[in-house]
Structure 1
Amino acid sequence: MHRFPTAEAEVADELAVVRPGLLPRYEAELPGARAAVLSRLWRGLAHDPLPWVTRRDQGRDGLTLYLSDGRRLHGPRPDPYATGAYVTVVRLDEAEYDDPARLVTDLAVPHSASFAAELGHSVASLALSRAGQEGRATDASPGSDWEWEQRIVDGHPFHPTCRSRPGFSVAEQLAYGPEHRPVVELGLVPVRAEECLVTGAWPRELRDGERVVLPVHPWQAAHVLKRVCEERRAGHPLMALRTLALPGGPHVKTSLSARLTSSVRDISLPSVAASAVLSEFAETPAAHTDGLLHVTRTLAAAAAGSPDFAAVLREPPEAYATGGERVLPVAALATTELPRSPAWLAGFARLALTVGLRLLELGVALEAHGQNLLVILSPAGDPLRLVYRDLADIRVSPARLARHGITVPGLPARMVTDDERTLRHKLFGSLVAGALAGTAGSGPALTEALRTAVRDLPRTPDLAALRADPLPTKALTLMRLSPQTAGDQWAELPNPLA
Structure 2
Amino acid sequence: MHRVTVRPPSADAYAAAPLLNCLLREVARPMPEPGVHRLPSGRLLRVRGERRPTEPELVGGPGVESAGGSRPDRPAGPASDPAPAHPLDHPALVRLVAEELRLHTGLDNPGLPAEMLDSREVVAAVLAARVDAAAPEDPYRRSEQCLVTGHPYHPAPKARGGGPAAAWLPYAPEAYAAFPLTLLGVREDLVVEEGDVSALDALGEAPPGYRLLPAHPWQLGLLGETETLRRAFDEKRLIRLGTTTPDAWPTAAIRTVYSPARDLFLKFSLDVRITNDIRRLWAHDLRKLRRTDEAAARALPGVWLSDRGYRTAAFAFEELAVLVRDGFGGLGATPLLAAGLTEGFDGSPLAATPDPGGWWTAYLRAVVPPALTAFAEGVVLEAHAQNTLIAVDSDGTPVRALYRDAEGVKLLTDVDRPAGWERLVYTLVVNHLAETAAALAEHHPGFAPWPAVREEFARHDLPEARALLSAPTLPGKTNLLLRWTGADGADARYLPLPNPLASP
- Bin of the TM-score, shorter chain as denominator length: 0.7 to 0.9
Amino acid at match of 2:306: R
Offset, 1:87: 4.5
**CA offset at residue 107 of structure 1?**
3.7
Q: 1:345 to 1:88 in 2, by over 3 A?
A: farther
Determine if the alignment matches structure 1 residue 98 to structure 2 residue 86: no
Aligned pair 1:275/2:270, yes or no? no
| Aligned position for 1:329 | 337
Aligned partners of 1:346 and 1:449 also within 8 Å: no
Residues 96-144 of structure 1, C-alpha deviation per residue, up to 9 Å, x if partnerless?
Answer: 4232323234446233421111111111211222333337676xx9437
Residue range with higher mean Cα deviation, 436-445 or 475-484? 436-445
SS in 2 for 1:441: helix
2:501 corresponds to 1:497: yes
User: Which of the numbers 266, 278, 283 marks the counterpart of 1:264?
Assistant: 278
Residue 235 of structure 1 corresponds to 248
Partner Cα separation in structure 2 for residue 209 and residue 266 of structure 1? 30
Tell me how many residue pairs correspond in the alignment. Answer: 432
Question: Which is further off, 351-360 or 436-445?
Answer: 436-445
Equivalent residue runs for 1:58-69 within 5 Å: 58-67=31-40
Instruction: Note the alpha carbon deviations across 1:135-170, whole angstroms, 9 max, x for none.
Output: 7676xx943743431233332233221211124321
Corresponding residue for residue 23 of structure 1 = none
Moved more, 338-347 or 424-433: 338-347
Kindly report the root-mean-square deviation, in angstroms, between the aligned alpha carbons of the 2 structures. 2.9
Give the deviation of 1:301 after TM superposition: 0.3
User: How does the TM-score come out when normalised to structure 1?
Assistant: 0.78
Q: Aligned equivalents of 2:188 and 2:473: distance in 1? A: 50
2:389 matched to 1:374?
A: yes
Q: Give CA deviations for 1:413-468 in whole Å, capped at 9, x if unaligned.
A: xxx21231x21222121121112223233596699323213325225322134321
CA distance in 1, matches of 2:101, 2:276: 20
Contact 2:23 2:97 in 1 (8 A): no
State the partner residue of 1:114.
111
Moved more, 113-122 or 476-485: 476-485
Partner of 2:452: 452
Of 269, 272, 275, 1:255 maps to 269
Q: Which runs of 5+ in 2 are unaligned?
A: 1-6, 65-85, 234-239
Q: What percent of counterpart residues are identical?
A: 25
Rounded to whole Å, the distance in 2 between the matches of 1:57 and 1:201 is 53
What is the alpha-carbon distance in structure 2 between the residues aligned to residue 448 and residue 417 of structure 1? 35
Contact map agreement 2:305 2:403 (CA 8 A) in 1: yes
Is the counterpart of residue 74 in structure 1 residue 45 in structure 2? yes
Q: Give the distance between the partners of 1:205 and 1:492, measured in 2 at CA.
A: 49
In structure 1, what is the Cα distance between the partners aligned to 2:363 and 2:139?
A: 22
Q: Give me the TM-score of the superposition, normalised by structure 2.
A: 0.77
User: Which residue is equivalent to 2:415?
Assistant: 417
Matches of 1:426 and 1:367 in 2, distance apart?
Answer: 8
Q: Which has the larger radius of gyration?
A: 2
228-237 or 362-371, which deviates more: 228-237
Q: In terms of mean alpha carbon deviation, does 339-348 or 141-150 score higher?
A: 141-150
Map of 1:164-179 to 2, 5 A cutoff? 164-179=159-174
Is 1:151–1:332's contact at 8 Å kept on the other side of the alignment?
yes
User: In structure 1, what is the equivalent of residue 329 of structure 2?
Assistant: 319
2:4 is aligned to: none
**Aligned mates of 1:180, 1:118 — CA distance in 2:** 20
User: Structure 1 108/423 Cα, relative in aligned 2: closer, same or farther at 3 Å?
Assistant: closer
- Give the distance between the partners of 2:193 and 2:159, measured in 1 at CA: 32
Q: Secondary structure at the match of 1:381?
A: coil
Match of 1:406 in 2: none
Cα distance in 1 between the residues matched to 2:187 and 2:134: 46
Structure 2 counterpart of 1:42, from 7, 17, 20: 20
Which residue pairs with 2:152 in the alignment? 157
How far apart, in 2, do the equivalents of 1:57 and 1:151 lie? Answer: 31
Higher relative contact order (CA 8 A, sep 6+): 1
Unaligned runs of 5+ in 1: 1-27, 288-292, 399-415
Q: Distance in 1 between matches of 2:295 and 2:129?
A: 42
Instruction: Output one character per residue of 1:223-258: Cα deviation in whole Å (capped at 9) or x when no partner.
Output: 225369552223211111111122422211011010
* 1:270 to 1:151, Cα distance in 2 relative to 1, 3 A: same
Q: Is the 8 A contact 2:147 2:174 kept in 1?
A: yes
Taking the aligned partners of 2:381 and 2:397, their CA distance within structure 1 comes to: 23
Deviation of 1:304 after TM superposition, in Å, equals 2.2
Say whether the 8 Å CA contact 1:164–1:260 is kept in structure 2: yes
Match of 2:411 in 1: 396
Of residues 276, 280, 294, the one that matches 2:303 is 294
Could you tell me whether the CA contact under 8 Å between 1:299 and 1:314 is conserved in 2?
yes
- TM superposition shift of 1:174: 2.4
